[in-house]
Chain A
């Protein structure tokens, strides 16, 4: 593309008071020989914005550099056809005018550097062309319980073809086994009949839904918009093509045989499921003699919220026990029901039901710790409870003990495998830091043919969600959306809501894939990584480090990209030692050029320079917040935003140091179990890569203190001045970069 650059400098919002705008324009006109450069006191206003549009339309400007406010502000005023015009924003407001003293030499230098960096970047940015392929918009739903059935109905109702796979012979899942469901309607006081049978019938009768029963997903190959799923059913295999997948594989009850300490193994100690089955069959009895239980004790959190068993809360067991207590009380008005709980947890409107059940005179609730459950001859079972609300250790006699066992997601059952490459073992012996690995459990749900493993990587308890607070339904594999109890323990009503959410995500995915756009979190981004494979050395770093398993490999280890799986984070770009992975508007070369565009003062000027690579998701808005709050920080820092800190390529460090930059500061997101990284592993990978660079520095006889990595949450913006201040003090202690002026 023949570039015609237009630079537009805004002097509003206090920019003009802090910076000499005329002087700044000279950087564009004299240094950059930019053909069009204009100032405006109110660039985002109708007149200002129109000026730019006019230049694009009449003057043929196709590369626009807007030196005004943060790129997070005024996005609509400054948006143009991405296929025709490339845009870069210079943040003069939040990152310069609002956080530096006005009309100071250092402030002006900062503004000028940012403009130079932007010009360097704009010169190399190309308008992206979306990745287009033949996209199938069908949706596969794995699991025929309440979640799967609802997801199938929702997707079909929205006009999408659905394939539903259920491993059991009948649809319906867990709800098919229950006698009554929890309340589903306001005022949430009465248990209800499950309508799962009717829903299953509707699904089976829906012409847009193809149902496989007694079936299993043998393998899932491909990528969003082009998944080839082989379904094995009744001895035969069939391959279907779908665009996205809703994983509604459900849960299993925690294995009660591990709960011997709560009496499991005795004839009259059962679990919720057995009570449901008895109730459904017509009568709840003591299994030992089929007699009616006159007293029943429910033990809540049986193996749940217990570090030795399931460390988490399964959200529904309290409600199930309350419901089953009613089964027993309704059958026998003289029966006594005890519920021993850790805490009664009734999410949502279910508190109403709890209140309702509490009113029953024959239901006795107490918080307490079950110390023992023992058989008491013919007289049933004796349960000792410590620390009860009754103020002392108590002993309860019961004919029947019911253990409220928790939920284990279907994805957590199976052999755990660690994704590794052959080289990992070698690396270990060299005592190098190890890249973070994912744990994948071979749960036989999707059987992906992905290079990184056959199932979705999960959170710490085997739930395949990627981040349940920030990005519900998102998994670490694009186009595959977990929903219902496989994602998080929940009741039937919530599972149905979840199903609708995941179905919409799946629809969004196929639609965006059909337009060549990225899905969450860079929704709508039409760039994608371009690999210059002639120079690939088959090091496999990209295929291993991609948090989303976007790359497969051929036998030699050459990466096989799947653009529709890609989230456009650029972590592969950072991982590549050969620097062959680039986006049209973002590449190793572009960022390298930005680093090189920074003017580094001579050593005797005593103005050190620090390049600060920051994550654009958390650190960049944190910096904006610092600006909005007019927090002042060092004028010697130059920020370069990255799509993710995981984009960091070691060559930029070398570029910076050889340029005479005194220090390099990397700010990413929090990682670990409670990570905040939008791309899950980016920040962690950046940290890992920096662990490796220290050695390179030592070789160059440069101090390792010159490089620091920090994790910053978006709300920690107030720490920015002191963070930078401390780092600069350290740099001054270490002294100027000896490579300055080379």
Chain B
């Protein structure tokens, strides 16, 4: 006989979930309407019914490693149909926050990212850090007189506005490379732990690679988002943000590679590159996609607010950073064209602070879903759990066929 599961409810965990946007958690009375209406729930051990009671009972150890909270794409059908006014969509959202907090180290940062109290601290870190770097590099560098050496090239200063006049490019790059390295390390640690937990829960039936290929296809087409048929706007919005980021990532990588590596072989002109440059063009298109997507996502959130879902601080934190990154980036560019140097430097400074925040806080913020959701999807795919909607759909057609004959 199997050993019974020893229940040790964690009251603080319950309180945390409630505080993190899962305030309707306790309303659930386990009718399982949510699991039935969910278009993404697997046929075996469907969610979110079981997550609701586990969260009510404060079973933290079960929930943080539960891959199913990552299968949810937050369409909120469950919340719409809940007869009791509980919002499983919001609860899962809060649980994902708790899971990110659980896997991300150091805990001190994780805790601060999720708590509005610490927002000034979180902003102050990059603001001061970058300000200090600007101050130091200016002190040390501006002694050069009317010329600058950038990447071995001596530039005569003129009226043109150049980002590196405020902060040297190498300083930015060193800072961001180090930050990225930190993030990757945090992610790697969390991911290893998460994967181990996943492996302990279910046995894979197919290899990781084919599963990963499927998931990448899924993500590229946003097919899971499309399953949530009730919410086309979110699908488009997320798609915009996603591909905006992809485009910006490619742009940044190209410039980085160009400046540091290609430049060693062939001369690559200094930035800013002209707008007609395909890389630059891609970057601008990416920024527009990002902002357009963001607009849709935010509008959608505001429209749904209080209805089927309530957005938490954790949601707005990420949206705020992304919005700042996108708008300051684009505005800085426009202001540079307009030749307003003063405004450009302010915007660029804010942009740097925002981008740093995005880099540094990603493993602790909602953006960490890039890693955990992808991992959970791959593992789930590898375990061969089928969508609930697909399984009964077959049965339903059979019955209908049977009736007609």
B partners with A: yes
Query: CB within 8 A of A392: which of B5, B9, B26, B30?
Result: B5
A389 touches B26 (CB 8 A): no
A361 to B30 alpha-carbon distance, docked (Å): 16
Instruction: State whether A396 and B50 are in contact (beta carbons under 8 Å apart), knowing that A358-B29, A364-B56 are contacts in the complex.
Output: no
Contacting A at CB under 8 A, from B93-132, are none
Measured between beta carbons, the chain B residues less than 8 angstroms from A392 are 2, 4-5
A395 touches B5 (CB 8 A): yes
Interface centre among B2, B5, B18 (most CB of A within 10 A): B5
A334 touches B11 (CB 8 A): yes
A681 interfacial by beta-carbon distance below 8 Å? no
Interface centre among A355, A360, A384 (most CB of B within 10 A): A355
B27 touches A393 (CB 8 A): no
A471 to B269 alpha-carbon distance, docked (Å): 97
Measured between beta carbons, the chain B residues less than 8 angstroms from A389 are 30, 53
B57 touches A359 (CB 8 A): no
A389 to B35 alpha-carbon distance, docked (Å): 14
B4 touches A361 (CB 8 A): no
A361 touches B53 (CB 8 A): no
Give A125-157 as 1s and 0s: 1 = Cβ < 8 Å from B's Cβ atoms.
000000000000000000000000000000000
B26 touches A359 (CB 8 A): yes
Measured between beta carbons, the chain B residues less than 8 angstroms from A487 are none
A476 interfacial by beta-carbon distance below 8 Å? no
A390 touches B27 (CB 8 A): no
A400 vs chain B, min Cβ distance (A): 16
Interface centre among A355, A361, A393, A395 (most CB of B within 10 A): A361
B50 touches A390 (CB 8 A): yes
A110 to B54 alpha-carbon distance, docked (Å): 73
A634 vs chain B, min Cβ distance (A): 39
A334 to B14 alpha-carbon distance, docked (Å): 12
Q: How many residues of B contact A (CB 8 A)?
A: 24
Contacting B at CB under 8 A, from A85-116, are none
A358 to B5 alpha-carbon distance, docked (Å): 23
Give B19-46 as 1s and 0s: 1 = Cβ < 8 Å from A's Cβ atoms.
0000000110110000000000000010
A274 vs chain B, min Cβ distance (A): 25
Measured between beta carbons, the chain B residues less than 8 angstroms from A393 are 2, 4-5
A384 touches B11 (CB 8 A): no
Interface centre among A358, A362, A393 (most CB of B within 10 A): A358
B27 touches A355 (CB 8 A): yes
A422 vs chain B, min Cβ distance (A): 58
A357 vs chain B, min Cβ distance (A): 9
A394 to B26 alpha-carbon distance, docked (Å): 20
B217 interfacial by beta-carbon distance below 8 Å? no
Of all chain A residues, the one with the shortest Cβ separation from B23 is: A359
Contacting B at CB under 8 A, from A339-365, are 344, 355, 358-362, 364-365
Instruction: State whether A390 and B11 are in contact (beta carbons under 8 Å apart), knowing that A355-B27, A361-B18, A367-B30 are contacts in the complex.
Output: no
A395 touches B6 (CB 8 A): yes
A336 interfacial by beta-carbon distance below 8 Å? yes
The 5 A-B residue pairs with the shortest CB-CB distance, nearest first, are: A395-B4, A393-B4, A361-B14, A359-B26, A364-B57
Q: Using CB atoms and an 8 Å cutoff, list the residues of chain A in contact with chain B.
A: 334, 336, 338, 344, 355, 358-362, 364-367, 384-385, 389-397
Q: Using CB atoms and an 8 Å cutoff, list the residues of chain B in contact with chain A.
A: 2, 4-9, 11, 14-15, 18, 26-27, 29-30, 45, 50, 53-54, 56-59, 84
28 contacts between A and B (CB under 8 A): A336-B11, A338-B7, A355-B27, A355-B84, A358-B27, A359-B26, A361-B14, A361-B18, A361-B26, A362-B14, A364-B56, A364-B57, A364-B58, A365-B29, A365-B56, A366-B30, A366-B53, A389-B53, A390-B5, A390-B53, A391-B50, A392-B2, A394-B5, A394-B6, A394-B7, A395-B6, A395-B7, A397-B6
If A364-B58, A394-B6 are given as contacts, then 17 extra A-B residue pairs at C-beta distance below 8 Å, sorted by A number, are A344-B29, A359-B27, A361-B14, A362-B14, A364-B7, A364-B9, A365-B29, A366-B57, A384-B4, A385-B4, A389-B53, A390-B57, A391-B50, A392-B4, A393-B5, A394-B7, A397-B8
